[in-house]
Structure 1
């Protein structure tokens, strides 16, 4: 995902809807901040947050 996708009018609505349903969305400050198109930086993705979140959801 990059900033071009984020500019779509439905993007923020979709994120808000998911969050209102209890879904953890790792987007925005403290999570994933998209890059400019063509500037992919996979090593910059906050994998630790994704793994920590998955772990907390799966832990009894």
Structure 2
């Protein structure tokens, strides 16, 4: 498991985190929901994709 300090120095991981934050902000904007609800919606979406054997990027 990667530690927080290791993670913040990993450019690939930080790029993935930044992209997730961008998507969350966009969901908030488009759906008019709270940030917490947008995170829950994204998590549900990712879980659904995983159950359907789709690959997440």
Higher relative CO (Cα under 8 Å, sequence separation at least 6) belongs to 1
TM-score, normalisation: structure 2: 0.37
**More helix as a share of residues:** 2
